[in-house]
Amino acid sequence: MNLSLSNILIGAIMLLTIMPVHEYAHAWAADKLGDGSARLSGRMTLNPFAHLDLVGSISFLLVGIGWGKPVPVYMRNLNHPKRDMMLVALAGPASNVVLTILLMIVYKVLSAIVVAAGIQNYIVNILLWVILMIAQTSARWAVFNMLPVPPLDGSRLLEYLLPWQAYAKIEQYQQIIYIVMLVLLVTGVLSVPLSFLTNLLLKLVSLITLPVDLLLGVLF
């Protein structure tokens, strides 16, 4: 584990860009589906300091996976409570997938311009690298949050799909499951499956952005 100052600074940049998008998406979806609690509490914003969670931020800086403060959502206020809770949860990972796609497009366009113009600048190279790292980390954030473990977003999908009695059993042991997950994260046990799924998502993003590559090939 490399905890150099540069890595912490880079991690902080990623934390301040990826997490606000994720939490804003939760708040926006809840507001559109009938519950304005997040908007009224000031969470429907891209200001990262409205969303930072201490443990989630430290986890991100140490192991590259983290989370923000839970967005307040009250099921009784939603138009279709059980379904809409799932949609609100899925909005977070979905926003990170969209962010990954947009950043990869920006990265490809800027890279093509740099190569075509023959630019050789250390600052430009660092900027391109940071954009690429944020895109890849955003994909990893989406994958991590889709794990079917309370209180992660994937647990809401599990709640929607499972009978109430079955999900109640999972919630009964939520704290134990959560602690086990954190241990697996810190020890690196989850690294292999998370990396595999993240690479699959990045390959899908490459396919989605393939028209950009073809267009750039024509222009440059």
Q: Is 159 one of the annotated active-site residues of the chain?
A: no
Catalytic residue among 15, 19, 22, 23: 23
Q: Which two tokens stand for residue 152?
A: 């992660």
Residue 209 contacts residue 108 (beta carbons within 8 Å)? yes
Residue 67 contacts residue 36 (beta carbons within 8 Å)? no
Q: 101-122 as b/e, with b when 16 or more CB fall inside 10 Å?
A: bebbbbbbeeebebeeeeeeee
Q: How far apart are CA 42 and CA 52, in angstroms?
A: 13
H/E element, 130? helix 122-145
Q: Which two tokens stand for residue 137?
A: 């980390």
Cβ atoms < 10 Å from Cβ of 141:
29
Taking phi over 0 as left and psi of -120 to 50 as alpha, with beta for the rest, 66 belongs to beta
Residue type at 197 in one-letter notation: L
Helix (H, G, I), strand (E, B) or coil at 52: coil
Q: 156-171 as b/e, with b when 16 or more CB fall inside 10 Å?
A: bbbbbeeeeeebeebe
In sequence order, the 6+-apart residues with CB closer than 8 A to the CB of 133 are 10, 14
Active site residues: 23
